[in-house]
Every structure is written in structure tokens, then in C-alpha cells.
Amino acid sequence: MPPKIILASTSPYRRELLSRLGLPFDVANPETDESQLPGEAPEAMALRLSEKKARAVAKDFPGALIIGSDQVATVNGKIYGKPGSHQRAVAQLKELSGKTVNFFTGLCLLDSNSGEADVRGVPTLVRFRELSDSEIENYLRREPAYNCAGSAKSEGLGIALLASMQGDDPNALVGLPLIALCDMLRKRGVEVL
């Protein structure tokens, strides 16, 4: 019998992505502090938090494989988080206009029995077009992406804000790198196909 799979996330985007694999899974809220540690590089933060989220729910699910994921969006070391409001989303998109953003996604698959964790990082470089104020307002009016790092949903209308994307897995940009996850699951004996 395959191990139970737990997604340590409340993100509806990660839940939808994982459901594409057709594997049964449950969802648990990791309730973790996502603050950056002093002097911590953004990529190191995403890796640390992906594992921290998985470990936060491990005690509740013995014998399970637990998936944790975290993403940071950066330009020249500055982190762009979830804006949370229209005003902050407008400000973010104005700052990101014409720039290349590194969306770095940390992914962890934790075996709750052994405590072994496979932790990987998947970068996606996204170049935003030069955006006018009216394009930004029109976009946010139609798709208020206030809960998305970088204020744009690439899986939705936000794709119209972009000039290019470069990465190994388009799902990583949405928050759950499925190519890497499938590899991790296979190594733990879970057949995806």
C-alpha cells in the first residue's frame, strides 16, 4: 500500500497543481512563521521554509510523505511578496515593469517515518514587459492578484504582463514544481503513472 501523501499548504494553487497528478492526498495547514532570517539569502529562505512547512505537520501524519513548498520573487536581492492590497500590487507592478524577476520555488518531500527530506530549488526567470499605468490598473481590476508574489498570475490573465519565461517547469511559477515532485515521489516508490 502506497504511503499517504500530505500537502503542507493552504494554497488553492498548490492544491490544484497536485490534483493534476491524480494521486490521493490530504491537505494540512503548516502554520509556520515565514519571516526571513537575518542575513538569509532569498533562495535559502525558500528552501528552509519548504522543509519547515513539511516538518510542521509531520507529527500528525506518521508513515506519510509530506510535501512542503515555498516561493520567493526577487530582483537584485529584493524580495517581492504577496502584496495583499490594490495599492501595494500597483506599486509592485510598477517596480517590476521591464525587469527580470527570479521566482525561486523551494520544494521538500519529507518521509515522516524516517525524517529524511529531499529538498530542491527550482528557479524560473520571468521578464515583465514595460507596463503602462493603465495596463496595470486594467489587469488588477480584472484579476486582483493580491495573494500572488509579484502581483501577477501567470496561469491567468497575468500572462499578458510578461515578455518571457525561462525555467525547467512551468508549474514551479505557480508554486509547485511538478516535474521535480514526480521525480521525488518515484524515488520514494510512489508510481505517478
User: How far, rounded to the nearest angstrom, does the alpha carbon of residue 20 sit from its chain's CA centroid?
Assistant: 16
Considering all CA atoms of the chain, what is the largest pairwise distance in Å, rounded to the nearest integer? 55
The total of other beta-carbon atoms located within 10 Å of residue 142's CB is 12
Residues with active-site annotation: 70
DSSP character string of 48-61: HHHHHHHHHHHTTS
CB atoms within 10 A of CB 54: 30
- Say if residues 48 and 71 touch (Cβ distance below 8 Å): no
